Chain A
Amino acid sequence: MPVILATDIIIYLVFLVIIAGIVLARNGDGYLSQIWQHLKKNKLAMACMIILVLYGLVALGDSIRWRDKIEPAPNATVASSKTTIYSANAHSLLDRALSGLRAKDEKTFSAPLATKLFVKETLEITAADGTVKTVREHPPLKHPGSHLLGTDKVGGDVLMAALKGVRTGVVIGTGTTIIIIPFAILFGVFAGYFGGWVDDLIQYIYTTLSSIPGILLIVSFMLIFGSEGYQGGVIKESDLWFGLFVPSDRLFWLCVIMGITSWTDLCRLIRGETLKLRELEYVQAAKAFGVSNIKTILRHIIPNLMHLVLITFILQFSGLVLAEAVLSYIGIGVGPEMGSWGNMINTARMELSREPVVWWSLVGAFIFIFGLVLPANIFGDAIRDALDPKLRLGRK
């Protein structure tokens, strides 16, 4: 029985858009294939793209989920065995692929690739002659050498936790912008195209929104809406629509509020560009021919804004991923049951005061964040260069 979260749809959308872009570029859309030709020359950008695709695939794998059927108990009555019961846990493709790793849990901390547990325990060792000695020793692991990044306090694999954080990071990085794009285009184009009181009203709305300190808005919004809907972990029946769709989850609300705090920049950018476009000859010509406003906007204005949207989408990505970690860390991001690098860092920070230091959880999370944000930054710069020659500064 498949289960779809609101945030899963975001991931599907991102992939659909990318696939559509590839198809268009292959079928000779001049603009897109031009960008592609430009990108292909940049080896570093291509390497970064491959890393980003890998992250994306992990996120996609973690967004395809279904609930298993629970076999009715043998002594169940006939009536109850007729209705199929599904497990409350909707494991994703990623969960299932990593089930081997999940099963290999230890008692508590162990260093990366260690063969022994990190803490000492009182062990009873039977010597060769049959005498039993009690010693304080590091007990051997159940699965020595199989934890690439070690294990955490409850013995869970750190690599597994870090991989589970990928989806959260990718959803925040892409979903936030995807949610705001329609609104930013609508408001920005209307303000720029119609001017007058429409412009005044829209400018008033975004000045008001941007004058509230962003972090305050996020904190108060999450305190109100964050507790609604799916929080991660077991899915409650009350959160499900028709047994397969979860319309509201905490991560989705986080995307919404991050979007509200960040849409003003894109809106302002689009408004300014529309103001410029409005005065161009071909738009004036369309007006002179009596083309309706809506048609002019759809055919002449919006296609010429798409490069701004794409640039914003890519440049905002890394900042949003970093912000998610900070928000989850201070406890207003995703819930503790949903994998997130911020949550990992939060639990791991306490262990820094141990002697010797438990560093691998923290380092694991930071490597995963860095591994996503650095390629995103480099790739974003390459795309911006390819899209907007005006912004190609300081290059010869």
Chain B
Amino acid sequence: MFTYITRRLLYAIPILIGVNLLTTLLFFYVNTPDDMARTMLGEKNLTPEIVENWKKDHGYDKPLFINTKEDGLSKVTQTIFFQKSAPLLWLDFGSSDRNNVDIAEEIRGRMWASMAIAIPTFIIGIATFLTFSMLLAYARGTYLDIWGVTLCVVMMSVSALFYIIGGQFFFGKMLKLFPISGYDTGLHAAKFVILPVLIGVIGSIGGSVRFYRTVFLEELGKDYIRTARAKGLAERTVLFKHALKNAMIPILTNVVVSIPFLFYGSLIMESFFAIPGLGSFTIDAIGSQDFAIVRAMVYLGSLLYIAGLILTDISYTLADPRIRLE
């Protein structure tokens, strides 16, 4: 397993380089370093020297991908792409272009707010989805199942905006149970967290319950379930002991990938509820054309995705001893 993980980690390097290449290409497609310097400095009487100085200070004074002035290996290393991307490999995010804020510092400060929303949504969500989907699978073919599935289809056809705006209006404005948006530090954060968590769970309940229901039904159609029933086991034992354990593989495939992203937070929810987390940090950076932050966050995102994939593979071996990673 150790060699497997090492190989996967090594395989991640070309992917991460590709991600950086794409981010750099996208960002500099219309924006030359000169444009960038001008937006960042934003002064009226800019002389070419000031622009050059800014570029030199922030390391944008080199060619993008290939430096023809240098020889040998420096042709590739003395470029914006290499100079900016290489430190990311050992997680050195550098500082932002606009205010010289230390990006790693900023991420450490903001990740708590992101996690305060994402982790409860994740845990409560999984528990709710599995409970309801097992209930529907248990009652398959009855009116409860038919109406449950119908409700799921209806719920997944409603726009997420409706859940968010409706929730803010109903719970925040009419019932005045929770503040509509915002955030606070420490324990005071609790009252700001409940509403986004609630809406996050309700918003994805339809699609998820329907999906897990089909997973369970597929499992319940298999031979070992028939055997278990033939032995005279109670339906509850069949469902929880036999079906749930064997349904773990498709469930894990869906769930584990998103675990690393709990720290990344949800861009959309954070911008709706004014949560000062990593999601809003990224959106603000894109708005203010701060390449350093965008690059760091995109890089972090893909890193987490790759970590999620590896974690998923590892979780398979835990759920099913037959699976060996080689």
Contacts and interface: CB of A to CB of B under 8 A. Distances in A.
A219 B283 contact: yes
A231 B6 CA distance: 49
Nearest to A341: B159
A318 B157 contact: yes
Contacts of B217: 393-394
Interface string B25-60: 011011100000000000000000000000000000
A276 B299 CA distance: 35
A215 B294 CA distance: 12
Contact of B158 (A223, A370, A394, A396): A370
Interface in A205-228: 205, 207-213, 215-216, 219-221, 223-224
Interface string B262-276: 001001100100000
A59 interface: no
Interface stretch (A28-36, A91-99, A138-146, A324-332): A324-332
Interface of B is mostly: helix
Interface string B59-88: 000000000000000000000000000000
Contacts of A369: 158-159, 162
B15 A374 contact: no
B306 A221 contact: no
A339 B23 CA distance: 31
A212 B301 contact: yes
A366 B169 contact: no
Interface residues on B, range: 35 or more
Interface string B131-157: 000000000110000000000011011
Contacts of B19: 208, 211-212
Interface of A is mostly: helix
Contacts of B282: 216
Given A318-B157, A362-B165, A394 B18 contact: no
B105 interface: no
A56 interface: no
Given A213-B298, A322-B159, A370-B157, A223 B286 contact: yes
A330 B160 CA distance: 12
B157 A374 contact: yes
Interface string A355-381: 000000010001001100110111001
B320 interface: no
A120 to B, nearest CB: 23
Contacts of A1: none
A241 interface: no
Given A215-B268, A374-B153, A393-B218, A329 B302 contact: no
B160 A221 contact: no
B256 to A, nearest CB: 15
B161 A325 contact: yes
B214 interface: yes
Contacts of A318: 156-157
Nearest to B141: A396
Contacts of B22: 208-209, 212
A322 B160 contact: yes
A270 interface: no
Interface string B257-301: 000000010011001000000000011001000000010011001
Interface residues on A, range: 35 or more
B14 interface: yes
B214 A393 contact: yes
Nearest to B279: A215
B112 interface: no
Nearest to B267: A215
Contacts of A329: 161
B122 interface: no
A224 B286 contact: no
A132 interface: no
Interface string B97-131: 00000000000000000000000000000000000
B302 A219 contact: no
A349 B302 CA distance: 34
A381 B154 CA distance: 13
A186 to B, nearest CB: 20
Given A213-B264, A345-B159, 4 more contacts: A207-B15, A213-B298, A216-B286, A326-B160
25 contacts: A208-B19, A211-B15, A211-B305, A212-B19, A212-B22, A212-B23, A213-B302, A215-B267, A216-B298, A216-B301, A220-B27, A224-B26, A224-B31, A318-B157, A326-B268, A345-B159, A366-B159, A366-B162, A369-B158, A369-B162, A374-B153, A376-B157, A393-B217, A393-B218, A394-B221
